[in-house]
Structure 1
Amino acid sequence: MHSAAKPRQTVTQTPDMNAVALKAYGRIASAWGLSLKEAAALADMSESTWKRAKKPGFTGDLTKDQLLRLSAVVGIFKSLELYFSEPVARLWFTQPNTGPLFDGSRPVDSAIDGGLPHILNIRTYLDALRGGL
């Protein structure tokens, strides 16, 4: 049984979209207290690229994976801000976690190690917590 192929959804990236995503991500990385190395790895960039990318006027392109990572991280941040009060919302991503996705490691480390699929799993996990599912 063959299922009909779904049409590919493409998102045309614009410099404005990249700038907004990078600005939001930079603010989140700062709010979470991520190191340069952590912020770069989470965004799937080299440290030197992240240093350039977080400055206003960055004209480099983001890969689809990078843009999806930034978008998912924004979603994680929003879920944490809605679900937890301060300071837990800001500390949650960088503290050891015994939850089912983390096995005692920090969510930031598991997100870096697991890449985009795990970042999306964390977002889904938090959305489920927030939604009471």
Structure 2
Amino acid sequence: MHILELFGRIFLSVLFLAEGIRKFFFQEETIMYMEDFGVPEILFFPSIFVEIFFPLLLIIGYKTKIAALVMALFTLTVAIIFHTNFNSGMEMTFFLKDLAITGGFIIILINGAGLLSIDRMQKSKTK
């Protein structure tokens, strides 16, 4: 069952990794999209950092609770800023998807990474 914890962390993270990489290669259109919602260009590179760095931490299970907290806050913020046009069925779906993902990050925040993680290996060494 411990392998499922790892797969869960990977599945939650891969969406953000792919999106961070996409943003990096399509900077101009991403910045325009962000600005359409009132998000300043200065937040472009920090958003890429969050979408790549913290999911990598989650995958390897290092500083997992911190990474899960950052990702939960990031995902909830994205949902509120970009997906609250509830007149659009697709936007409602995106909003609910982001809430579900936020819930997954909260579960990791509470429970930690599990057995297959650097956090667990470090914890075992200190005992």
TM-score by length of 1: 0.27
Higher RCO, 1 vs 2 (CA within 8 Å, ≥6 residues apart): 2
> Could you tell me the TM-score, scaled by structure 2's length?
0.28
